[in-house]
């Protein structure tokens, strides 16, 4: 039976994530790292620097003055935010459509990940009053295992898509046809990329249905954001129903007014973030 490690070993696109991602992740995990350390890593790639400065100056960040250097970018939005931009920028090219249209669409998956990441940040900051940087990063990465499955085991993966009316069924079908699921693959990949443990665990557990779960945990927020995003049509597969832990549904109902406002604002926030998650010019 195929294992997650077997599939990852055959994933030819894994090296398209630049080494800078892992280096920056390690810097973030090191309490002795400085903004200068962060700047030194990023400035080694002039093309990346140019793209990041354009993104930092986009409406998504709404900075009052133009940022014209990586040093100032770090000072304005912080090391963690700039790291998240590097990861987002690196993933965009991998999610580009490849070949003829099929039941599965990389573009749809990318829009789903973008919606979940932006919604997660909004839930963290608006509902729980906590920093949303980690949940944003988790949202961008949470379904990356699907891209690996689609590339390495294409025929089996399309069978999964054809038999997955909801998120719970998708996990069952992945384990049946592939011997693993995208949550496990994503967990192991982000371990290789030196992502924080809490983010890795949320990726592993984002489709696990818990009887008890803290809504404000990273896993709780990602599940909530997946559910909310699905209400606006941003699902992994067309018409897929998203199933989340029962305590989270109850939490949403108890805070219905706050979530209604958040849902009203989500499309505008996604439009503002278009420069961040949208395609690069010329692609």
| pLDDT band at residue 280 using 50, 70 and 90 as cut-offs | low
What pLDDT does residue 2 have? 62
Mind listing the pLDDT tens digit for each residue in 47-79? 778 888 888 888 888 888 888 888 888 888 888
Mean pLDDT of the chain: 88
Distance, CA of 209 to CA of 217 (rounded, Å): 14
* Helices within 95-236 (DSSP H only): 106-122, 133-141, 144-152, 154-162, 167-178, 182-192, 197-205, 218-231
Q: Is pLDDT of 130 > 80?
A: yes
High-pLDDT (> 90) share of the chain, % = 52
CA dihedral 213, 4, 18, 273 (to 10 degrees): -40
Q: Mapping DSSP to helix (H, G, I), strand (E, B) and coil, where does residue 241 land? A: strand
Taking the domains of the chain in order of start, what are their residue ranges?
Answer: 4-277
Q: Is the per-residue pLDDT at 283 higher than 60? A: no
Q: What percentage of the chain has pLDDT greater than the value 70?
A: 93
Determine the average pLDDT of the residues in 158-178: 93
Residue 139 has pLDDT above 80, yes or no: yes
Per-residue pLDDT at 218: 97
Res. 104: pLDDT tops 50:
yes
pLDDT at 273 over 60: yes
DSSP code, position 96? S
SS3 of residue 166 by DSSP = strand
Partner residues linked to 42 by β-bridges: none
pLDDT band of residue 1 (cuts 50, 70, 90) is very low
Residue of 198, 209, 155, 160 lying closest to 182 (CA atoms) = 160
Query: For residue 87, what are the contacts with CB-CB under 8 A and spacing of at least 6?
Result: 21, 137, 140, 141
Average the pLDDT over 121-141 and give the result: 96
What's the rounded mean pLDDT across residues 86-108?
78
Report whether 178 contacts 156 (CB < 8 A). yes
Euclidean distance between CA atoms 11 and 114, whole angstroms: 23
CATH of domain 4-277: 1.10.3210.10
Q: How confident is the model at residue 29 (pLDDT cuts 50, 70, 90)?
A: confident
- pTM of the predicted structure, to 2 decimals: 0.87
d(CA 7, CA 146): 11
């Amino acid at each position: 039976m195929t294992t997650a490690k077997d599939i990852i070993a055959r994933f030819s696109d894994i090296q398209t994530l630049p080494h800078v991602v892992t280096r920056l992740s390690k810097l973030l995990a090191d309490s002795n790292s400085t903004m200068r350390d962060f700047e030194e890593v990023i400035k080694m790639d002039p093309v990346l620097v140019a793209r990041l400065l354009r993104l930092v100056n986009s409406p998504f960040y709404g900075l009052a003055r133009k940022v014209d250097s990586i040093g100032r970018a770090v000072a304005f939005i912080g090391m963690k935010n700039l790291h998240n931009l590097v990861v987002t920028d690196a993933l965009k090219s991998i999610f580009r459509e490849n070949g003829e249209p099929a039941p599965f669409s990389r573009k749809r998956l990318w829009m789903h990940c973008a919606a979940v990441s932006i919604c997660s940040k909004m839930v963290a900051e608006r509902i729980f009053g906590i920093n949303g940087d980690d949940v944003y990063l988790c949202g961008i990465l949470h379904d990356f295992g699907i891209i690996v499955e689609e590339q390495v085991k294409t025929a089996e993966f399309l069978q999964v898509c054809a038999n997955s009316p909801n998120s719970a069924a998708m996990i069952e079908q992945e384990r049946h046809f592939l011997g693993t699921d995208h949550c496990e693959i994503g967990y192991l990949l982000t371990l290789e990329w030196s992502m924080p443990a809490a983010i890795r665990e949320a990726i592993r557990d984002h489709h696990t249905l818990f009887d008890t779960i803290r809504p404000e945990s990273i896993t709780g927020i990602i599940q909530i954001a997946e559910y909310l995003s699905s209400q606006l049509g941003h699902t992994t597969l067309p018409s897929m129903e998203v199933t989340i832990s029962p305590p989270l549904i109850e939490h949403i109902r108890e805070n219905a007014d706050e979530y209604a406002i958040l849902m009203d604002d989500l499309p505008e926030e996604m439009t503002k973030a278009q420069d961040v998650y949208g395609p690069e010019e010329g692609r």
